[in-house]
């Protein structure tokens, strides 16, 4: 009965834990690392082909993104998750494979030209299809027997459609233990989704700590009011509202609020305004939301469903799918809303819409999600006056607004509240899925406020659950810093230029005594060259 921490240990992405019990090997999540990470993840200590089950808390790629790679490397077992997560994985894992293939193809075009070795995609669409075929979905609250002595149950944790915490009961040689994995714990009072469900009993808890050091604040932002104001002001100027949005989750929230704005007639002067969702993934995700409403929507959203209305659909909603449809949007001069991906403007169709709207002072670019440092989205929020898109310099004249969204993650108080729901004394809490310092701080907060043992393992850390013994705290192996070859190359180039000039001077000195005609020709050539490169102020 052993638990090993592989990913999202002192980090926020790449969630992956290995549970070994009763001769079975079970992974809880198998996520991709995204963005800059501090530490190397330890290799899985078992062969992929020997893993029996993957239990998936939710569909976000930092929890699910390496499942196709597991299949590529020989995983033959079963993936157990909720119905909604299975449906979201069906579109998100294919999309992730498509990104991998696209990136490999892009690199290979370069590699072929320079005769370098070809690059293999991390995994292919076929690997994603193989993974999807291995999913056995179950209902929230349903106890599933994985094998003799191992039972699991998925409970709604209110972070994303289908998201769950996972309870696992293990009986091994007459010793019984229960371990609960929180998954990503949702925030309270989000639109569409339910609040996180409390679990009452466990011996061990593995909990995320994304906001383990922060409070979201008492006052909830007036999302609807702010959104309405931005739409009214932009439409009055005759401009478009362009919203870069994550396809799954945030886009559906936006549709939910726009439906409400329309239903309450909050914009009577622009009642018929049109809303284009220009992202195939967002459209598919919206269909998955609609399909799984009954098991996942909160009371308010269900009331709307019960009245015969789809809470994500309204008059004026236009779904564009082909890239031709996408281009046509910009020929329509009526003020409108355009929702498109990617959320941080780094790729996708949103870049076309930015090209057509950033230079227009009457338009608004409305950010609804977190923008990482270095992304185009972040540059716009930080006040860039011009940006480059498709090789063209575009002036930023549009209004740049940020709608302070409702975070999908519980804050420190929310996480502690969820833990306080346990009625049994917890033998050990393991803190994962947080930034380096935050995991330790949150572990300390648990010890101080709840009096339970808590610690944040590094990758490779492992625990004997039968005896509650920490076998290893894991090893913080720092990621190697990437070299910056560009700068080195440019320095070399300058040095080569200086050397070339020295050679030129040597050659010039050797020319003494040559015919005047030849000397004049040589001098003319040098003057032409220097005129070409002598930049005048
Ligand atoms: Zn998540």
Q: Which residues contact 61 (CB under 8 A, 6 or more apart)?
A: 31, 32, 34, 92, 96
Euclidean distance between CA atoms 361 and 256, whole angstroms: 28
- pLDDT tier for residue 491 given thresholds of 50, 70 and 90: low
Query: Quick one: pLDDT at residue 484?
Result: 41
Query: Quick one: pLDDT at residue 209?
Result: 96
Q: Is the pLDDT reported for residue 73 higher than 90?
A: yes
Other CB atoms within a 10 A radius of the CB of residue 165 amount to 30
Tokens found for residue 34? 């995204």
Euclidean distance between CA atoms 111 and 105, whole angstroms: 10
- Are β-strands 364-367 and 241-244 bridged in parallel, bridged antiparallel, or unpaired? parallel
Q: Cα–chain-centroid distance for residue 218?
A: 27
Cα 25 to ligand 1 centre (Å): 24
Other CB atoms within a 10 A radius of the CB of residue 50 amount to 13
Q: What is the pLDDT of residues 144-160, one digit of tens each?
A: 999 999 999 999 999 99
- pLDDT tier for residue 481 given thresholds of 50, 70 and 90: low
pTM of the predicted model as reported, rounded to 2 decimal places: 0.85
Cα 321 to ligand 1 centre (Å): 26
From residue 416, how far is each of 11, 28, 405, 420 by CA, in Å? 19, 22, 22, 6
| Residue 22 contacts residue 150 (beta carbons within 8 Å) | yes
Q: Is the pLDDT reported for residue 489 higher than 70?
A: no
Q: Which residues contact 246 (CB under 8 A, 6 or more apart)?
A: 341, 342, 343, 369
- At residue 473, the 3 state secondary structure works out as coil
| Residue 350 contacts residue 366 (beta carbons within 8 Å) | no
Phi, psi of 95 (to 5 degrees): -65, -40
Cα 63 to ligand 1 centre (Å): 7
- pLDDT tier for residue 486 given thresholds of 50, 70 and 90: very low
Least confident of 82-96, 191-205, 319-333, 440-454: 319-333
Cα 44 to ligand 1 centre (Å): 22
From residue 158, how far is each of 54, 143, 368, 515 by CA, in Å? 21, 19, 19, 88
Cα 284 to ligand 1 centre (Å): 19
Q: Is the pLDDT reported for residue 37 higher than 80?
A: no
Q: Cα–chain-centroid distance for residue 198?
A: 26
Cα 14 to ligand 1 centre (Å): 11
Q: Is the pLDDT reported for residue 534 higher than 80?
A: no
Cα 159 to ligand 1 centre (Å): 7
Other CB atoms within a 10 A radius of the CB of residue 116 amount to 11
- At residue 28, the 3 state secondary structure works out as strand
Q: Is the pLDDT reported for residue 194 higher than 70?
A: yes
Euclidean distance between CA atoms 16 and 173, whole angstroms: 26
Q: Helices 412-420 and 436-450: crossing angle, nearest 10°?
A: 40
Q: What is the pLDDT of residues 238-295, one digit of tens each?
A: 999 999 999 999 999 999 999 999 999 999 999 999 999 999 999 999 999 999 999 9
| Residue 68 contacts residue 98 (beta carbons within 8 Å) | no
| Residue 204 contacts residue 454 (beta carbons within 8 Å) | no
| Residue 367 contacts residue 403 (beta carbons within 8 Å) | yes
Cα 471 to ligand 1 centre (Å): 29
Cα 384 to ligand 1 centre (Å): 30
- Are β-strands 336-340 and 317-319 bridged in parallel, bridged antiparallel, or unpaired? unpaired
- Are β-strands 399-402 and 364-367 bridged in parallel, bridged antiparallel, or unpaired? parallel
Cα 160 to ligand 1 centre (Å): 7
Query: Quick one: pLDDT at residue 535?
Result: 62
Cα 183 to ligand 1 centre (Å): 8
Q: Which residues contact 309 (CB under 8 A, 6 or more apart)?
A: none
- Are β-strands 399-402 and 428-432 bridged in parallel, bridged antiparallel, or unpaired? unpaired
Q: What is the pLDDT of residues 399-451, one digit of tens each?
A: 999 987 678 899 999 999 999 999 988 999 999 999 889 999 999 999 999 99
* DSSP at 297: B
Cα 181 to ligand 1 centre (Å): 13
Cα 433 to ligand 1 centre (Å): 10
Cα 13 to ligand 1 centre (Å): 9
Q: What is the pLDDT of residues 360-389, one digit of tens each?
A: 999 999 999 878 778 899 999 999 999 999
């Amino acid at each position: 009965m052993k638990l090993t921490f592989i990913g999202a240990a002192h980090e926020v992405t790449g969630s992956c834990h290995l549970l070994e019990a009763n001769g079975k090997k079970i992974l809880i999540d198998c996520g991709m690392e995204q963005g800059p990470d501090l530490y190397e993840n330890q290799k899985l200590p078992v062969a992929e082909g020997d893993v029996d089950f993957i239990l998936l808390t939710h569909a976000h790629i930092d929890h699910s993104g390496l499942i196709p790679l597991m299949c590529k490397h020989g995983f033959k077992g079963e993936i157990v998750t909720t119905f909604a997560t299975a449906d979201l994985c069906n579109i998100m894992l294919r999309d992730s494979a498509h990104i991998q293939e696209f990136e490999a193809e892009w690199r290979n075009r370069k590699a072929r030209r320079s005769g370098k070795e070809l690059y293999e995609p991390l995994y292919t669409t076929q690997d994603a299809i193989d993974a999807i075929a291995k999913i056995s979905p179950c209902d929230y609250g349903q106890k599933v027997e994985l094998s003799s002595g191992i039972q699991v149950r998925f409970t709604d944790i209110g972070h994303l459609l289908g998201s769950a915490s996972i309870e696992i009961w293990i009986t091994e040689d007459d010793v019984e233990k229960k371990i609960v994995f929180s998954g990503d714990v949702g925030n309270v009072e989000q639109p569409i989704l339910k609040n996180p469900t409390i679990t009452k009993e466990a011996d061990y808890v593995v909990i995320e700590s994304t906001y383990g050091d922060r409070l979201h604040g008492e006052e909830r932002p007036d999302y609807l009011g702010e959104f309405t104001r931005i739409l009214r002001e932009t439409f009055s100027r005759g401009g478009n509202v362009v919203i870069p949005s994550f396809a799954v989750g945030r886009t559906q929230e936006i549709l939910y609020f726009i439906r409400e704005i329309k239903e309450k007639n909050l914009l009577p002067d622009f009642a018929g305004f049109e809303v284009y969702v220009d992202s195939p993934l967002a459209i598919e995700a919206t269909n998955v939301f609609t399909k799984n409403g009954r098991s996942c929507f909160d009371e308010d959203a269900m009331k709307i469903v019960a009245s015969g209305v789809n809470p994500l659909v309204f008059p004026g909603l236009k779904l564009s799918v082909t890239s031709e449809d996408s281009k046509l949007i910009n020929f329509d001069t009526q003020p409108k809303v355009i929702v498109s991906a990617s959320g941080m403007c780094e790729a996708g169709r949103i870049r076309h819409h930015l090209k057509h709207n950033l230079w227009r002072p009457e338009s608004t670019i409305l950010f609804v999600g977190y923008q990482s440092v270095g992304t185009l989205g972040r540059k716009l929020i930080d006040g860039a006056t011009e940006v480059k898109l498709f090789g063209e310099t575009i002036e930023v004249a549009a209004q740049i607004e940020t709608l302070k969204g409702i975070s999908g993650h519980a804050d420190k108080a929310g996480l502690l509240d969820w833990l306080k729901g346990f009625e049994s004394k917890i033998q050990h809490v393991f803190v994962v899925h947080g930034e380096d310092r935050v995991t330790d701080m949150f572990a300390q907060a648990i010890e101080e406020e709840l009096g339970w043992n808590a610690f944040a393992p590094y990758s490779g850390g492992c625990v004997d659950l039968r005896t509650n013994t920490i076998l290893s705290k894991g090893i913080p192996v720092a990621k190697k810093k990437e070299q910056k070859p560009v700068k080195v190359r440019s320095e070399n180039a300058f040095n080569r230029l200086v050397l070339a000039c020295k050679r030129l001077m040597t050659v010039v000195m050797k020319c003494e005594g040559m015919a005047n005609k030849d000397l004049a020709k040589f001098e003319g050539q040098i003057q032409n060259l220097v005129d070409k490169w002598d930049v005048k102020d």
